[in-house]
Amino acid sequence: CGFQLRGSQPLPAALVAVDLQVPPGEPDLQRDLRRALEARGTRVAEEAGASTLRILGARYDRRILSIGPDGKVREYELRYEVRFALQPAGAEERAPVRSVTVLRDYSYSELRVLGKDEERDLLRTEMRREAVNRIVNQLSH
Amino acid sequence: AEAASPWDCRQEAGGKWVCAGAEPAMPAAMPAPAATPAPPGPSTPSATGAAPARERPAPAREPAPEPAARPSAGGRDEGAAAPAVARRTPPPLRPASTAVATADAGPGGRDPWALCAVSSAPGTFRPGSAASTSDLPIEVSADRVRSTQDGEDRLEGEVRLTQGDRHLQASQVTVWRAENRFEAEGGVRYSEPGFAVAAERARLRLDERTGELEQASYELPGLHASGRAERAELRSGDVVVLKEATYTTCDPGRPDWELSAGEVKLDPATGRGEARQVKVDFKDVPIFYWPYLSFPIDDKRHTGFLVPTFGTSEATGLDLSVPYYINLAPSYDATLTPRLMSRRGLQVQGEFRYLLEGQGGQVTAEVLPHDNEFGDHRELLSYQHQGVFAPGWSTDVDLNYVSDEQYFRDLGNGINLTSTTHLDRRADLRYDSTYWSVLGRAQSFQTVDETLGPDERPYDRMPQLLFRGALPEIAGTLRTSLRAEYTRFDHESLVTGQRVDLEPGLSLPLAGAAWFLTPSAKYRYTGYSLDDPDGVYPDSTTRALPVLSLDGGLFFERPLAWDGGDYTQTLEPRLYYLYVPNENQDDIPVFDSAALDFSFEQLFRDNRFSGRDRVGDANQLTLALTSRVLDNADGRERLRAGLGSVFYFSDREVGLETGAPAEDSGTSDLVGEVDYRLSDAWYARGGLQWNTDENDMRRGTLQFHYQPDNRRILNLAYRLRKDIDETLEQTDASLLWPLNPNWSVVGRWNYSIEDRRTLDAFAGFEYGSCCWALRLVARHYVNDLDEESNNALYLQLELKGLTRVGNSISNLLEHGILGYSVNPDDPTTW
């Protein structure tokens, strides 16, 4: 029905070399982004002619998704949003700010506080990786 | 919010006008000069002395709350880092008075002033350039001019003085040239861009820039404000004193609300305004009185009272808070708030905030010495600190204490507080290098749920040391990783112990444009040293297991013309094989493990338990198919759908509880998910977990969110979750919808189908006039298992440009209606 194996796509010029600027409070995001970019063949370095990928902010929110009849939390929703802008070298115009948002939900029990905290941390790691993949996908487009 | 009004002009010493926000430009056209006589009297300066509003007489106007300046903004619950803070030099702290409103429109982001007429009463307001007009000639016209010998010029009948955009009009003006002084009488009108005033009489000394106006009424179009003063005195140093003054942002002809003060003093040198005998009338009914208020009239921060707030609620009775803001230094401040609750007594709240380079924090304390209803004293203490303090080093501290388990239910508001069961007490110290990180953590909890017994309370982690690292890739692709952890778990009544967990791993990610294949191997070693008062668990035990997996997938794609755009649709089959041998783990207590929710993501995880105390045995193959629709224009994902299932080749013996029976099904439930985001205005999400053996839906979610703008929000959700011991089936609908420019409805209905019971429902309306807004919400909700449902009525009155009066209804709306924001356009949240 028209599906074909994906062909190899050349790296866009703006992604050949990238100066990655991530706020110092986000070392995990920095590591994941660097790895994902390098996996695409991008040189991550401050060098002449490199584009600048600025991460303007990354934010986690947690909200209560459902409560039980006893008024206690049964499910949480996690939301992770990253705002970024890729400024090609020498471009006059300021690059538009883009964002990706990843949503997840998980059940909660006040009887498993640490276990559910561990699950939340795992989800946060996965959400960050998905956000990174989506950022790199958008940029390679 | 109007800090940068285009008419924020002031006159410099040389008489030059400096305007913030407006480009200085010469007036395009001078008003037609009907110059009968030649300009008499003073050549310079001109009538600009009659500007009693060089500093805006905006009583009780506070700087907008600035959440971004809160170092832990958005991170208090989740402990997320605040990167924006780390990158910038400290932004100015602001009073963190959530009760103080800005002039923003509340929900909707609409123009809050859409319906107010402003330029009706005095003067002629001419929007135009606020250029440097002092160099311009003064055009004068009058019916008669008389000059006397002692240097007195008298202009009579239809006197007009015009200089650029500035106009003075009166029936009689007397000028004493030698003294640089003049007096205007009879229908005095003065206007300049951004300011207009009418008075019975004006006496002005131009060189000293002093004078007084009697029976003045003024207008500030930039602030949508107007008012009157019996007397306005211009004192030296640009100090303005208004006697018997009023202030409103309503239509001047018909002020629905009005602030009046016996005296208002505005001192631009100190940046302070002071008001005495302040009274606020709403619909001619006095609703507020305060003998003395001190407020800032510039963007600087000053010590002084913030606008008091009051309201009523079932739990507290009448509730009055009077925040006092203490500006200690540019990078730290404090707010002290006495709060009087008629049912409970006097509480004192204090908040101290600080912001350093890259880090910041706050201390909050609340003390209620004697709660009349509760019969005892009650306290809250809270400390947050986050940030990077040296390259690579960061801390995250969150310490909380409340005096009793009902604290939030009685004294807090909003579901997020009343449903709190545990308060975190945690201190993290972390070091990050390029390839590895170390985390040291001390963590305990305060349980604020009286239904939990001693054995049901969580373990403390005192301490947890965690190393995560990876070497640079070897031979291009071979990846290494190491996770190492030491934790000591402490508990009052349960088995305690120390745990060492080591997890070295190797993986070889291979990939081409259309495929990927990742074999990986991990080795998990966990050792325990236990101390069990009941003697059930051994003194020490170890567990060592390999975890082997093979992950592979293909990428197919095709172009897709859909909905008028060019898209690419992908088809991504994926296989995941996992092998973990079975080892009996019944002699290991559960410190930090829980069963992970079964979900699409779970199909590709190497453990079905969170934490480190259980390693699920596995010999299983996941088959999954994902399809995405990507917008060729911007690469964004419009649609994603995934479906998958796990095929088990052996029973799962390892369970969370000792003696739990093995799971013997040959296949897992089928899980599917759909995420559809057509535009920024709406998205739909669905999830399904289907048990094929029993043909039964175990989990189902459907969520729809529509928000074309900040005034219109519609949320619909259905949730079903069948766990072993409990079934949850709920619907949740909420909306914010405008009926017409004035009226909006808000509502939420969260219903438990399983319990046939409404969990949380509220309905109400917002009425927004051009200068005030009223929100009335009735709520019916559950907040405790044993208690009956509660009913409450919330009322909030917002006088735009002045304050918000009432209890935290916004908190309720923001948590109940996804997407609702009191300040939707607040850019400082980023």
B positions 798-817 inside 8 Å of A (CB): 815
The mean predicted confidence, pLDDT, of chain B is 78
Comparing CB atoms, the residue among A2, A6, A70 nearest residue B513 is A6
Average pLDDT over residues B419-424: 87
Check CB contact of A75 with chain B, cutoff 8 Å. yes
CB pairs under 8 A between A and B: 199
Confidence at B126, pLDDT banded by 50, 70, 90: very low
Choice between B132 and B273, residue whose per-residue pLDDT is larger: B273
Closest-approach residue (CA) in chain A for B720 = A66
pLDDT (tens digit, 9 = 90+) per residue, B645-657? Answer: 999 999 999 999 8
Looking from the CA of B293 toward its CB, the CA atoms found within 13 Å total 29
pLDDT at B109: 34
Which segment of A62-76, B749-763, B784-798 scores lowest on mean pLDDT? B784-798
Judge: A56–B594 Cβ closer than 8 Å, yes or no.
no
Q: Specify whether the CB–CB gap between B261 and B245 falls below 8 A.
A: yes
Q: Which two tokens stand for residue B498?
A: 């120390």
pLDDT (tens digit, 9 = 90+) per residue, B206-217? Answer: 667 788 889 988
Among the ranges B50-59, B278-287, B504-513, which has the highest mean pLDDT value?
B504-513
Is 60 exceeded by the pLDDT of residue B379?
yes
Choice between B205 and B41, residue whose per-residue pLDDT is larger: B205
Distance CA B196, CA B118 (A): 11
Judge: A115–B432 Cβ closer than 8 Å, yes or no.
no
Judge: B755–A9 Cβ closer than 8 Å, yes or no.
no
Confidence at B804, pLDDT banded by 50, 70, 90: low
Residue in A67, A132, A136 to test binding to B, most B beta-carbons within 10 Å: A67
pLDDT at A82: 95
Distance CA B655, CA B780 (A): 41
Check CB contact of B250 with chain A, cutoff 8 Å. no
Chain A CB contacts of B731 under 8 Å are none
Chain B CB contacts of A129 under 8 Å are none
Please count the helices (runs of H) and the strands (runs of E) in chain A: 2, 6
Q: Specify whether the CB–CB gap between B515 and B490 falls below 8 A.
A: no
Q: Express as a percent the part of chain B with pLDDT over 90.
A: 38
Question: Could you tell me if residue B84 is left (phi over 0), alpha (psi between -120 and 50 degrees) or otherwise beta?
Answer: alpha
Chain A CB contacts of B784 under 8 Å are 70-71
Peptide bond into A96 cis (omega under 30): no
Distances (CA, A) of A39 to A30, A88, B347, B476, B546: 14, 20, 57, 10, 27
pLDDT at B475: 65
Judge: B611–A7 Cβ closer than 8 Å, yes or no.
no
Comparing CB atoms, the residue among B461, B558, B785 nearest residue A71 is B785
Chain A closest-CA separation from residue B316 CA (Å): 20
Closest-approach residue (CA) in chain A for B570 = A3
Q: Specify whether the CB–CB gap between B27 and B165 falls below 8 A.
A: yes
Is 50 exceeded by the pLDDT of residue B94?
no
Instruction: Split chain A (141 residues) into runs of 10 and give each run's mean pLDDT.
Output: 85 90 91 90 88 92 86 90 92 87 92 94 96 91 75
Q: β-strands B515-531, B727-738: how paired? A: unpaired
Choice between B816 and A135, residue whose per-residue pLDDT is larger: A135
pLDDT (tens digit, 9 = 90+) per residue, B70-87? Answer: 333 333 333 333 222 222
Indicate the pTM of the whole model: 0.78
A positions 15-74 inside 8 Å of B (CB): 22-28, 31, 39, 55-74
Check CB contact of A5 with chain B, cutoff 8 Å. yes
Distance CA B575, CA B557 (A): 18
Chain A CB contacts of B637 under 8 Å are 134, 137
Distance CA B698, CA B720 (A): 7
Check CB contact of B297 with chain A, cutoff 8 Å. no
Choice between B510 and B294, residue whose per-residue pLDDT is larger: B510
Confidence at B468, pLDDT banded by 50, 70, 90: very high
Is 70 exceeded by the pLDDT of residue B49?
no
Chain B closest-CA separation from residue A48 CA (Å): 22
Q: Helix, strand or coil for residue A14?
A: helix
Chain B closest-CA separation from residue A49 CA (Å): 23
Is 70 exceeded by the pLDDT of residue B11?
no
Closest-approach residue (CA) in chain A for B599 = A106
Confidence at B711, pLDDT banded by 50, 70, 90: confident
Nearest CA-CA partner of B18 in B189, B134, B161, B124: B134
Q: If you compute the radius of gyration of chain A from its CA atoms, what whole number of angstroms results? A: 19
Is 60 exceeded by the pLDDT of residue B265?
yes
Chain A closest-CA separation from residue B213 CA (Å): 51
Closest-approach residue (CA) in chain B for A8 = B513
